[in-house]
Amino acid sequence: MNVSVIIPAYNEEKLLGRCLKSLVEAKLPNEMQREIIVINNASVDKTKEIAQSFAGVRVVDEPQKGLTKARQAGMVASCHELLIYFDADTVIPQNWFFELAEIYQKNPELVGASGPYYYENLNCVERFVYYDAFNVFFGWLPWQKGFLLGGNFSVKRWVLEKIGGFDTSIAFYGEDSNLTRRVIEHGPIKVTKKLAVVTSPRRFKSQGTVKTFLIYVLSFLSEFVLRRPMTTKHKDIR
């Protein structure tokens, strides 16, 4: 199994370096080939320079700002059959790719796989809200067929091509719900703690716990019920 790892990055000079360090240091199964692509999405800081400082990391410029535009640019620029998307503030464990390979080997019918976020530097209450409530809602409710959590998911190329790629009209909220809704029409998605990653709680911290959680939940429901995002507005938090 060969994989393309894609990291959309807009003004991510503070956290991109540790993300890329975790990726290049992660262990790979012997049969796996991997490329790492950073999509420099209209950044005006040192995002591009930081990405270029890592050997083996390719930088692709996407001048039109927008998460889905960056994700789509990554799809077009990549060359392998399995695409993996991480947020730039994410850190992966060393065995992440071994877990991924095992999941797809045991479940060849899967069209995608995703894992939860472990948010760093939280107290007990915050950990319950940010991790338990958030990830249970988006990952393990029995009436769902699985969910592609936007900052930590993999999807097979043929499925993305079949659905026409990412909906670039969506700026931010609801983009992963939109993708999930269209992908699950072509096969199952597996959500598993084996693919968990560590990430920054910056949006929850900056925007507020309850407000952020409600926006994500309502965006999910809006996309699956009304088939359109709840809102086109969002705030860049860095």
What's the confidence (pLDDT) of residue 218?
A: 66
More confident residue, 122 or 17: 17
Residue 29 pLDDT > 50, yes or no? yes
The total of other beta-carbon atoms located within 10 Å of residue 106's CB is: 9
In the chain, the amino acid numbered 164 is: G
Show Cβ contacts of residue 101 under 8 Å, excluding neighbours closer than 6 positions: 1, 29, 31, 32
Taking only the tens place, the pLDDT of each residue in 123-139 is 676 666 655 555 565 55
- What are the pLDDT digits (tens) for 176-194? 989 999 999 999 999 898 9
pLDDT bracket for residue 93 (50, 70, 90): very high
Question: What are the chain's domains?
Answer: 3-226 (3.90.550.10)
**Model-level pTM greater than 0.85?**
yes
* Averaged pLDDT of the chain: 87
The rounded distance, in Å, linking the Cα atoms of 111 and 226 is 24
Alpha-carbon gap, residue 154 to 100, rounded angstroms: 9
What pLDDT is stored for residue 81 in this prediction? 97
Look at residues 114, 119, 138, 131 and name the one whose alpha carbon lies nearest to residue 190: 114
Q: Are strands 112-114 and 189-191 parallel, antiparallel or unpaired?
A: parallel
